Chain A
């Protein structure tokens, strides 16, 4: 029997978390070491997975199938392809780095690390599951730890932000549940198998029903992405979450929405996806332009980065709306790249907040003189965020723009989307100027520069962003293999 690598990757964090529960509350150091070790091991396994993955093949690989609830047609079905592989690597990487950064947490350590490990299993499960029942379970499982993380270790308005996040996202998820049930009952025999549903197309021809189900799924994903107008939970959740929580929230949880659009919406409902591509593209543009403009107006650094996430995820949506191979490639690459960049940016915010206990951009100034290393890293990530060529953000956004330009129905959208890049440059450069440049601010003269732990949490992300920006092929090849299959099947299903 083949080694079930995916199950091990999936459940290792949970096992580690459960192991943590047996430690006494006072053994903080051993618990932190165990949690980081488990996360590092999981990351190593994902790297091994990447090495063993056949990068020229676009189909599902390493599939694991076992019957689970036969009376309902539910299977334990896992698999990885060019769409999920980058997401799995991203999840493992960001979780490890945020746990590494979290060694500074001293309050209620056991619960904190347990929740993060549980959350990691939830997120990995979403990306690995190929059975809708299993997919839904992991989708919901990732909500509960996040509620506690925001609510217990967060900022002054944490309770409000936590319950808002939970209720908002849950409302979308339950609508998705109804969509799942409709798909299930229209399959004969009833099954939750995602690959089968994509192949059989049970709702083909039932245009009204397919449209309803498409929008039910879309609302769930749109809340996660977050797409306008369902984005209002994001600024509160991000600002109030503790640093590591924001990293995971922005870096991975948002990607679940994009992943859902690609994995479910495009494959289950190609007709609706094509019919409503204009609307989705339009909303993507609102995200890009409006999100970036609101970011420009912010004075709280964390809120600025939160709104910039809305803008960048707009590019993912644009790629999905275009649905050409390049567009889809760009969407996936943008998800990976944005995860790394924004994850790093939130870690950087955490660093400065630990020292100054405020995030007001107008009160910073001249930090570059006292914290040169931090300044350097921040500038690097800022430039990546605005899409400087040579860094991953540019590569991803370029692919999205190319992909949407080559499709007739999204050509004008590509032209408008470029505005977003311009506005992003504005708010990033202005932020850098307000924070690091200008006359030195005496009150910050004693601030320590970035500590080794902080540097080690950020360095891997810098390396990845640079690598993908200069030579994206190692990641782009598997992505392209799968997205080419997806784009071709879409074109095939829509041609008369």
Chain B
């Protein structure tokens, strides 16, 4: 029971907040702190669950274990979801108040329910649970993206995300139904066993590609990324932060489970590698001309997904593959949410998301400017920060698998990314401040940025614990893989 209790906490917490919000309209900040507290409880519970491993298989009834894999991989994502929820909830309170966005209770309730969906998704042992998780996550995310009802851009973002998401889910479902049709099983491991026994099946490859397309939309791989910049720009910024991390993490969890458990024998490695190269390059190049920081970060998130996919594409060939994906996701959580939290802080004060309005930020808020520099350096992969370790692991995986060209493309893309990140840094440090008065950062937001900074440095300097977690999670997935 302990192993799915995190999901229960998030589910119950989310529903409670939504109900309370429907009955009594409290201040958004109250809801924000409550949601953050629920996330802390969930996170502590998940970490405690970690110490209970290895667990006895007989502890959960068989109808649960058939659809839910309560293993180290699931716990990793439970901790991930809790951390993501904590930072996002802390960043969102003041933002909602300043823009007078109503229904804060439902807002945070949906957020927690989306996190529940991420946990469910990561713990999926069969196709039905997987689909359930993706849809749950998607619907929560669509609603959140369009939450600022009086802002037409938010509604546009919500609609775009919903339409693309619905189509991609349909494609993915089609691929899943094909797999069911071929193998007569929905359990991922059973599908994998069948396909290995049969020795590969061209229809299965087609089905795998359809699933890839569906999940590729969720994760915003190129060429399935078109919705991403518009949705990110239009959504309320804390939700943009959330969207850049949680659905991506859920999508990656699904990708890892599906490809490693259900499709082991097929030759999807080079295809994923090619997608990775394309995603990194397109994402980084299109970020360069952006003048809106949310759009820039959207394209940067697309590129970051490209780096992460490298780890999966070489996973069968390298022991750094899946741990690389997981560690990079954790590092990405801190650096991306931190960057967005800083953007929220600036936006709360100046009301603007244009890069040109970041001029002289060092003068107006040395804390925010320095924090942003740290997050950008981490995103670009400069040591001794978290992003560097993440890149070391995924590029190391590519090198170990002898995918040298992919590694070269990856590192050169890191260099390109410095150009657009440091465009913002240049504005902050080398231009005079236009507005003038210092920016005061609200308490919760300050805490969010500090948490992200601590995470970024801690994962960069003392990654041993998280690498161990990632490796254990990778092993738990491999333990479920069908044997030849």
Contacts and interface: CB of A to CB of B under 8 A. Distances in A.
Specify whether A and B are partners. Answer: yes
Interface of A: 68-72, 136-137, 140-141, 143-144, 147-148, 151-152, 158-159, 163, 166-167, 170-171, 174-175, 177-178, 181-182, 184-185, 212
B426 A159 contact: yes
Interface string B387-410: 010001001100110001001100
Given A159-B426, A167-B418, 8 more contacts: A71-B467, A137-B383, A141-B383, A152-B429, A171-B415, A174-B412, A178-B411, A212-B404
A148 B429 CA distance: 8
Given A144-B382, A167-B415, A170-B418, A178 B399 contact: yes
A151 B422 CA distance: 11
Interface string B462-484: 11100110010000000000000
B335 to A, nearest CB: 15
B467 A174 contact: no
Nearest to B382: A140
A132 B55 CA distance: 39
Contacts of A70: 464
Given A151-B429, A159-B430, A171-B415, A181 B395 contact: yes
B377 interface: yes
Contact of B430 (A152, A171, A175, A177): A152
Contacts of B412: 171, 174
A185 B426 contact: no
B471 A71 contact: yes
B419 interface: yes
Contacts of A137: 383-384, 388
Contacts of B399: 178, 181-182, 185
A185 B396 contact: yes
14 contacts: A68-B464, A69-B463, A137-B384, A151-B429, A159-B430, A166-B422, A174-B412, A174-B414, A177-B411, A178-B407, A178-B408, A181-B399, A185-B396, A185-B399
Contact of A151 (B377, B430, B463): B430
Contacts of B462: 69
Most buried by A among B383, B414, B467: B383
Contacts, number: 75
Contacts of A174: 381, 411-412, 414-415
A177 B395 contact: yes
B467 A166 contact: no
Contacts of A68: 464
Contact of A69 (B411, B414, B464): B464
B63 to A, nearest CB: 37
Nearest to A169: B415
The 8 closest A-B pairs by CB, nearest first: A174-B411, A137-B383, A181-B399, A71-B467, A171-B415, A185-B400, A137-B384, A181-B396
Interface in B440-468: 462-464, 467-468
B466 to A, nearest CB: 10
B450 to A, nearest CB: 15
Contacts of B429: 148, 151-152
Nearest to A70: B464
B147 to A, nearest CB: 38
Interface residues of B, number: 30
B336 to A, nearest CB: 20
A159 B431 CA distance: 10
A477 B396 CA distance: 40
B464 A71 contact: yes
A141 B384 contact: yes
B383 A140 contact: yes
Contacts of B471: 71
Contacts of B408: 175, 178
Contacts of B382: 140, 143-144
B362 to A, nearest CB: 8
Contacts of A148: 429
Given A151-B426, A166-B422, A178 B464 contact: no
Contacts of B464: 68-71
Nearest to B383: A137
Contacts of A185: 396, 399-400
B426 A163 contact: yes
A152 B429 CA distance: 7
A144 B377 contact: yes
Contacts of B407: 178, 181
Contact of B419 (A140, A151, A163): A163
A185 B393 CA distance: 12
Most buried by B among A144, A158, A181, A212: A181
Most buried by A among B377, B388, B404, B430: B430
Contacts of B463: 69, 72
Nearest to B373: A144
B415 A170 contact: yes
Contacts of A152: 429-430
A159 to B, nearest CB: 6
Nearest to A171: B415
Interface string B295-331: 0000000000000000000000000000000000000
A464 to B, nearest CB: 33
A182 B399 CA distance: 6
A141 B414 CA distance: 16
Contacts of B377: 144
Contacts of B415: 167, 170-171, 174
Contacts of A175: 408, 411
A174 B408 CA distance: 9
A138 to B, nearest CB: 8
A460 B188 CA distance: 72
Contacts of B395: 177-178, 181
A460 to B, nearest CB: 33
Given A137-B383, A163-B426, A178-B408, A71 B468 contact: yes
A136 B460 CA distance: 13
Contacts of A136: 383
A177 B391 CA distance: 10
